[in-house]
Amino acid sequence: MNRTEDVLQALDAAEAEMRRRYFDFLRMPSVSAQPDHAADCRRTAEWLVGELREIGFEAAVRETAGHPVVVAKHAGPAGIDAPHLLYYGHYDVQPAEPFELWTSPPFEPTVVEGPHGDRVVARGAVDDKGQVMTWLSAMRAWHQVTGGLPVRVTALIEGEEEVGSPSLDAFLRDNAAELSADIAVVSDTNQWDFATPAITTRLRGMVYAQIDLRAASRDLHSGMYGGAARNPLNLLARILGDLHDDDGRIQIPGFYDGVTPVSNAQAAQWAALGFDEARYLGDVGLSVPAGERGLGALERIWARPTCDVNGMWGGYTGEGSKTVIAGEAHAKLSCRLVGQQDPAKIEEGIRQFVRERLPKDCSAEVRIFASAAPVEVPVENRFIAAAQAVLQDEYGVAPAMIGGGGSIPVVESFKRILNTDALLMGFGLDDDQVHSPNEKFDWRCLTRGARSHARLLGKLAG
């Protein structure tokens, strides 16, 4: 245990250096969605290889059909049967648009003062560059103090997470023997709140679809055609309005296949978290829970599927009035999935739902932008136990065992392709503005995250 204490001291002493490296990482605009930034993505991968080699890893940029992956290996201590940990992260970031809403340039990390001290504002500050920095910094400190790592580590840092990881499954399949490990460690989730750490044990899956309806071949004057020509906006509203019944149940065919009720033990554990739904809704100006009736908020967010319209547009959207019947109408729709729901069946259910409501001279295109199965992480293993212990040590309070409303598809891929379970230990906060302008990471979250990872490495040492 005194090796860990030495490492923690070294980590604290290296804060300035950690910040410098973190800022170098943030300055590279590794936007995976935008082809203009392909070279920036590669440069970021190469930078990571340099970082990993400095701390004793055998590291390389590995090609995929898309942006490259960084893979690095560290054998850990010689002669000891140490566990093998697969650390996963992603170096790509969301687009920063709209730029005009940023208070500082998105790729020039800027320190501002928040209620918990310094916070760093930049695209990727938390998602996922800041979170990757927590474990890279912990390993650097272990390397500095001991000349190595106390466990065997493989690092896998991809560059396409923000575009749905299209190349990752193939890469995992092609390199399964090399990448399979005792546990995957993923830092891409949040704490419970600033004072309370969390381990995420379930993640909802997702299907994200765009629906494009087409009716008349051009925009029509509603005086000349109203009452005779199909209006695709009325039709779209009718289709989307049918998605839920009066009790909030989703009407897509077969939607609830594989949705399992929460166990009593699980429900009791969540109830013990003392979640304040009134405040959670009140913070965003709401008071009436939406979604299915008769369920608690945590159950609805963590354990129930959803279907939300994320965007909708068509016709005249300017000032004042224009009496047009549009030729097209569009919507973006996402379903969050739980339990054993099958994304492929949900995709087909959405297509069928639209098709059944379509007059024969209208057409609908349904495009799928993301598709990921839900994940539940086994909680009865020594890695979760170790993480609970080190988070308790670091924060002085037991971590909340939580669900996550969002989706991290890679966790499901690790299980399916590598047969490797995951430990989801993340340090973000709910107000980090992930995917939005002015994304930030509290410096204290980053340093406590690094210290937690340093502790975990020590705890798991053979």
Interacting positions 23-52 with a second copy (CB under 8 A): 33
Q: Is 405 in the site for a second copy (CB under 8 A)?
A: yes
Total of chain residues touching a second copy, rule CB under 8 A: 90
Q: Is 373 in the site for a second copy (CB under 8 A)?
A: no
Q: Which of 329, 377, 386, 454 binds a second copy (CB under 8 A)?
A: 329
Q: Is 313 in the site for a second copy (CB under 8 A)?
A: yes
Which one, 233 or 461, has the nearer CB to a second copy? Answer: 233
Smallest gap from Cβ 118 to a second copy, in A, equals 24
With a CB cutoff of 8 Å and minimum separation 6, the contacts of 24 are 47
What gap in Å lies between CA 455 and CA 14, rounded to an integer?
Answer: 16
Q: Which of 38, 267, 324, 366 binds a second copy (CB under 8 A)?
A: 324
What gap in Å lies between CA 222 and CA 225, rounded to an integer?
Answer: 5
Which one, 237 or 389, has the nearer CB to a second copy? Answer: 237
Q: Is 228 in the site for a second copy (CB under 8 A)?
A: yes
Q: Is 370 in the site for a second copy (CB under 8 A)?
A: yes
Q: Is 285 in the site for a second copy (CB under 8 A)?
A: yes
Which one, 63 or 365, has the nearer CB to a second copy? Answer: 365
Closest residue by Cα to residue 234 from 92, 80, 75, 357: 357
Smallest gap from Cβ 358 to a second copy, in A, equals 10
Q: Is 237 in the site for a second copy (CB under 8 A)?
A: yes
Which one, 438 or 447, has the nearer CB to a second copy? Answer: 438
DSSP conformation class of 19: H
What gap in Å lies between CA 243 and CA 350, rounded to an integer?
Answer: 10
Q: Is 360 in the site for a second copy (CB under 8 A)?
A: yes
SS (H, E, C) 190-227: ECCCCCCCEEEEEECEEEEEEEEEECCCCCEEHHHHCC
SS3 at position 456: helix
Smallest gap from Cβ 52 to a second copy, in A, equals 30
User: What separation, in Å, do the N-terminal and C-terminal C-alpha atoms of the chain show?
Assistant: 12
Phi first, then psi: give them for residue 18, nearest 5 degrees: -60, -40
Handedness of CA 423, 429, 435, 441 (dihedral sign): negative
Of 198-227, binders to a second copy (CB under 8 A) are: 204, 206, 208, 210, 215-227
Of 414-443, binders to a second copy (CB under 8 A) are: 430, 434-436
What gap in Å lies between CA 384 and CA 377, rounded to an integer?
Answer: 10
SS (H, E, C) 389-444: HHHHHHHCCCCEEEEECCCCHHHHHHHHHHCCCEEEECCECCCCCCCCCCCEEEHH
Which one, 291 or 399, has the nearer CB to a second copy? Answer: 291
Which one, 14 or 216, has the nearer CB to a second copy? Answer: 216
Which one, 370 or 389, has the nearer CB to a second copy? Answer: 370
Q: Is 278 in the site for a second copy (CB under 8 A)?
A: no
Q: Which of 90, 304, 351, 459 binds a second copy (CB under 8 A)?
A: 304
Q: Is 249 in the site for a second copy (CB under 8 A)?
A: no
Q: Is 336 in the site for a second copy (CB under 8 A)?
A: yes
Pairing, β 69-74 against β 84-90 = unpaired
What gap in Å lies between CA 321 and CA 337, rounded to an integer?
Answer: 40
With a CB cutoff of 8 Å and minimum separation 6, the contacts of 94 are 31, 33, 123, 124, 127, 162, 434, 435
Q: Is 106 in the site for a second copy (CB under 8 A)?
A: no
Smallest gap from Cβ 381 to a second copy, in A, equals 25
Q: Is 101 in the site for a second copy (CB under 8 A)?
A: no
Q: Is 256 in the site for a second copy (CB under 8 A)?
A: no
Pairing, β 69-74 against β 422-425 = unpaired
With a CB cutoff of 8 Å and minimum separation 6, the contacts of 192 are 198, 273, 399, 400, 402
Q: By CB under 8 A, which span of 134-142, 146-154, 251-259, 399-407 interacts with a second copy? A: 399-407
Which one, 40 or 299, has the nearer CB to a second copy? Answer: 299
What gap in Å lies between CA 427 and CA 446, rounded to an integer?
Answer: 7
Q: By CB under 8 A, which span of 39-47, 167-175, 280-288, 383-391 interacts with a second copy? A: 280-288
